[in-house]
Amino acid sequence: MSSEPTSTVRLSVNGVDRTVDVPDRQLLSDALRHTLGLTGTHVGCEHGVCGACTVQLDGRPVRSCLMFAASAEGHEITTVEGLGNGPDDPGPVQQAFIDCHGLQCGFCTPGFVTTIDAYVRENPDPSEEEAREAISGNLCRCTGYQNIVRSVCRAAELVPEREEDA
């Protein structure tokens, strides 16, 4: 058996307080996926460029492949699973992607969803140009981004609607 140094980390994930023992060198992305079983967060490059692994750290989008899990001590993490209630009840940004055909293979989508959720909360009425700018830090190889831009604008409509309903 391996005998790596580990740390006990307390953090909040999707609103639930968790305590996990992780190897000190384990990336947050790997801890979410392999230790906590939240496989919605995807790993596309492991060097912080593609954005597939984006999660919200205290509400702000961060690359979970560029952070150690141990560094998340005391923070609130929101993953794609936390931005909806599963396939039967997708969240507003998730629904926007469905409405606009904003995904094909879906591998990059969780990173876009977490990024856009944070964006539209601060920018409730983006123009198409602003929407394009907002997603220009994430890579997608399938869609040519056309329908992701539309998804941003649609999400900006749906997020406040859902919050009013709530």
Partner 1 sequence: MTTRMFGQSITRREDPRLVTGAGAYLDDLAPGVLAAAFVRSPHAHARIRDIDVAGTLDVPGVVAVWTHEDLPGAAAERLPMLLPHPSISSPHTGFALARDHVNHVGEPVAMVVAENRYIAEDACGRIEVDYELLPPVVGLPAAREAARAVHDETPDNVAAHHVQTVGDAAAAIDSAPHVLDLELEIERSACIPMEGKGVIARWNSEDRTMVVHSSTQTSTGLRAALAAKLGLALTDIEVITPDVGGAFGVKINHPWPEEVAVACAARALSTTVKWTEDRREHFISSAHERGQLQRVRVGFDDSGRIRGLDVQFWHDNGAYLPYGVICPLNTSTHVLGPYLVPDYRVEFWSMYTNTVIVTPYRGAGRPQGVYIMERTMDAIAERLGMDRTEVRMNNFVREFPHPLGVIMQDGAEGVLDSGDYVASMDKLRALVGWEDFVEFREQARAEGRRVGIGVACYVESTGAGPYEGGHIEVETSGRVNVFTGLTTQGQAHATVFAQIVADELGVPIDQVHVTTGDTRKMAYSVGTWGSRGAVMSGNAVHLAARKVKEKALAIAGDNLEVDPGDLEIVDGTVRVKGDPSASMPLSAVSVLSNPLRYAFDESAKAATQFARPPAPGAPPVTPGRAPGLEDQDFFSPVRSTFASGMHAAIVETDPDTADIRILRYCVVHDCGPMINPLVVEGQVHGGVAQGVGGALYERMAYDDMGQLLNASFMDFLMPFASEVPHIETDHLETPSPLNPLGIKGAGEAGTIPGTAVIAAAIEDAEGIPIRRMPISPSELWQLRRETADAPAPAAR
Contacts with partner 1 by CB under 8 A lie at: 1-4, 23, 25-26, 33-34, 37-47, 49-50, 52, 79-81, 84-88, 90-91, 94-95, 97-99, 101, 103-110, 113, 132-133, 135-149
Min CB(113)–partner 1 separation in Å: 6
Tokens of 45: 């490059």
Least CB distance to partner 1 at residue 91 (A): 8
Rg (CA), the chain: 16
Nearer to partner 1, 17 or 88 (CB): 88
Q: Which residues of 17-32 are buried (b: 16+ CB within 10 A; e: fewer)?
A: eeebebbeebbbbbbb
Query: Is the CB of 34 or the CB of 74 nearer to partner 1?
Result: 34
Are the C-beta atoms of residues 99 and 63 closer than 8 Å to each other?
no
Q: How far is the CB of 7 from partner 1 (least distance, A)?
A: 15
Which C-beta is closer to partner 1: that of 39 or that of 74? Answer: 39
Q: What's the helix, strand, coil split of the chain in %, to 5?
A: 40, 15, 40
CB of 86 to partner 1, least distance (A): 5
Measured from the CB atom, is 56 or 79 closer to partner 1?
A: 79
- Give the DSSP H or E segment for 77: strand 76-78
- CA 65, CA 152: separation in Å to the nearest integer? 24
What is the nearest approach in angstroms of partner 1 to the Cβ of residue 41? 7
User: Judged by CB, which is closer to partner 1: 51, or 72?
Assistant: 51
Burial category of 88 from C-beta neighbours within 10 Å (exposed 0-12, middle 13-18, buried 19 and up): exposed
